[in-house]
Amino acid sequence: MQNLMFTGEQPFDTMTNTMRPEDAVRWFGIAPPDLSLISRSRGTDYIYTFLRSFYEEPSSPTGVDNLLLPNTAMPQVLWELQGVNRAVFEVDEAHGGQEVFRGFEQVIPGELTAQQYDRVVRDIVNFLDYIGDPTQLARGALGVRVIAFLLVFLVIAYLLKQQIWKDVR
């Protein structure tokens, strides 16, 4: 706890963002998404796919774009680990001549292999899921106790109903 908790006294204290919104707008054109909040609304699979879907796009202000969230303001912060990829699109006549994504082509290799990068992204996504809702585990444990209480109360209420209504029948 001494070496890992820099935000406060409790494990469920949230982290604060040090990037000012006006700086983000000046640097990226719009504030990048807060992935810890997105993990709560869209789930961890969405963030995992988002972090693996960056590709080189010279016309973008950040130099990259994302397949999952086109025109995203977030730069590819893990490019040194993953490398730089180029998206390969093909025209699909079966879908009315639309461009269809076919895969990634690596332009610059990263420091990690594809499997190692997947593990790093999985760990980051798990951390973002935790930091987005640090009291989730405590709420889950409380939920089990509440359900157990309600079941016990249901049994007591049913027995009381039987006792009260036995004279009416």
- In the prediction, which pLDDT does 11 show? 59
Query: In this structure, are residues 107 and 56 in contact, taking their beta carbons and an 8 Å threshold?
Result: yes
Domain-wise residue ranges, the chain: 1-134, 135-169
Q: 134 pLDDT band (50/70/90 cuts)?
A: confident
- Residue 111, SS3? coil
Phi first, then psi: give them for residue 140, nearest 5 degrees. -65, -40
pLDDT at position 20 is 81
- Mean pLDDT, range 150-164, rounded to an integer: 95
Highest mean pLDDT of the ranges 28-32, 94-98, 153-157: 153-157
Mean pLDDT, to the nearest integer, of 126-137?
A: 84
